[in-house]
Amino acid sequence: MISIRHPRTFHGLIACLFLAAAALRANEPAVSPGNTNAALQYWQAFSQLPAMDEHRQQIVANWNTVPVDADAVKLIEASSTALTYLHRGSALESCDWGLQKEDGIMLLMPHLAKARELARLALLRAREELDTQNSAAAADDIADVLVLANFVGSDTFAIGLLVQDSIEQMAFDLAASRLGQFAPESLRTLADRLGKLPHGGTLQSALRNERQFSLEWMIARLRNANDQSWQEALRPLAIETPKGTFEAIVEELKTKAGAVQEFEEFRPFYDELTTLAERPPDVFRSRAADLLKKYQNDAVGRLMLSDFVRVFDKDLATRTRFSLLKAAVAVLLSGPGELRNFPDPAGTGPFEYAASERGFELRSKLTIDGRPVVLAVGKPRR
């Protein structure tokens, strides 16, 4: 039995224990490794991807249009181990790719291309499953791909967000065009899994990462550079563009101190754009365009700036298509009246419904490049 006579000593001891607990908690990894980390399953999936000759590459590149013939089936069979790991990973709730963002723009992201490849193979298999009336398996494959996409884009750079959008778009296209062939039970499974997808990336988090691990990394690199050969610190950014040669751009920066200052003056650009990304699309587009105009002709702008308005539009279109897909599943399960539960993020009411010869269309008020975002849904099977 512990007896403590002095209250002060006791309080000090308790404070010590609390401090110890807090220190331990602060240093816990955000995602604990082991069987809860989906990335460990995905990396194994990547290692099991089948060897690709030119013909197979063509099949994968055109996964949505190639005939599902003997060669395609053989490729699907060769991918089965990789797809098993995809499914295992997609059943987990967290994903830590182990990216060391402190590597800045030199950060290696080998998972982006591999995830895209794995997703295409899964969707090719979903096509085959739908052809053989196995919509339950197809629903699983499509949902697995969407989980992977969200994990790829989560807490990453703008490039990761674009790859997430690209993978999701492939899954939406297949699901929508073949939704009519899903059995009601499979539709319910799909609806359930669509409602439980992990959080993917956002433009705001991508911009914060770009500022911290791209801009600040470059500033630190320049500061650490030799006074005489500081230009070499910028070498990773070297690219021939219509905006001028790398050497000409570096010449404008004149000195190391000047270069550091120019990069530092870019901080408000990222901060303002991050704030703008929370505003309505029209506001973002006009103000972001102004912001880009202000910065894009600076030396640093020419070296570093991506077209974030395009990234914003692509991501917004993907989010809208996701809502359209969920609405389409609900319409197939319970009729067009269900649309009242799916407000159009870009409008004041629900999505528009229009029957067509091939099934029906759901339309958002959102327009990208002057065209409305539409989801064409295939006819139900007879």
Partner 1 sequence: MNRWTDPLEAELESLRPHELPPLLRQRIISALSEPRRRPPRAHPSRLWIGALAAAACLVIAVAIWRGREQGMASPGRSPVAAGSSPPTDSVVAYQRALAQSPEALDALLDADAVRPIGPPVSGAYVLAGMDPDSLR
**Which positions touch partner 1 (CB under 8 A)?**
2-5, 9, 12-13, 16-17, 19-20, 23-24, 26-27, 29, 46-47, 52, 57, 60-61, 100, 102-110, 112-114, 116-117, 157, 159, 162-163, 166, 214, 217, 220-221, 224, 232, 235-241, 306-307, 310
Q: Which amino acid is at 92?
A: L
3-state secondary structure of 262: helix
- Specify the residue, 103 or 185, whose C-beta has the smaller distance to partner 1: 103
52/136 with CB nearer partner 1: 52
Distances (CA, A) of 29 to 33, 34, 210, 358: 8, 12, 22, 50
Kindly tell me which of 183 and 238 has the beta carbon lying closer to partner 1.
Answer: 238
Q: How far is the CB of 354 from partner 1 (least distance, A)?
A: 29
Q: DSSP letter string over 1-46?
A: ------HHHHHHHHHHHHHHHHHHHHTS-SS--STTBHHHHHHHHH
Using CA atoms of 53, 47, 88, 317 in order, give the dihedral in degrees to the nearest 10: -60
User: Whole-angstrom Cα distance, residue 260 to residue 189?
Assistant: 54
Q: Which two tokens stand for residue 26?
A: 């602060």
Tokens 């990761």 locate to 160
Q: Are 219 and 264 in contact (CB under 8 A)?
A: yes
Least distance to partner 1 from the beta carbon of 212, Å? 12
Cα–Cα distance measured from residue 201 to residue 93, given in angstroms and rounded to the nearest whole number: 15
Per-position DSSP letters for 177-206, written without gaps between them? HHGGGS-HHHHHHHHHHHTTPPP---HHHH
Smallest distance from partner 1 to CB 357, Å: 32
Minimum CB–partner distance for residue 211 and partner 1 (Å): 14
29: left (phi over 0), alpha (psi -120 to 50) or beta: beta
Taking the least distance from each CB to partner 1, the nearer of 2 and 335 is: 2
Q: Is the Cβ of residue 64 or residue 132 nearer to partner 1 in the bound state?
A: 64
Decide whether 57 or 334 has the Cβ nearer to partner 1.
57
Provide φ and ψ at 264, rounded to 5°: -65, -35
- Residues whose CB is less than 8 angstroms from the CB of residue 235 and which lie 6 or more positions away in sequence, other chains included: none
Least Å from the CB of residue 352 to partner 1: 28
Who's near 193: CB < 8 A, 6+ residues apart?
Answer: 139, 140, 143, 146, 147
Decide whether 186 or 209 has the Cβ nearer to partner 1. Answer: 209
| Length of the chain, in residues | 382
User: Can you name the residues that pair with 360 across neighbouring β-strands?
Assistant: 355, 377
d(CA 158, CA 61): 23
Nearer to partner 1, 52 or 137 (CB): 52
Q: Residue 185 or 232: which CB sits closer to partner 1?
A: 232
Which residue's CB is nearer to partner 1, number 236 or number 349?
236
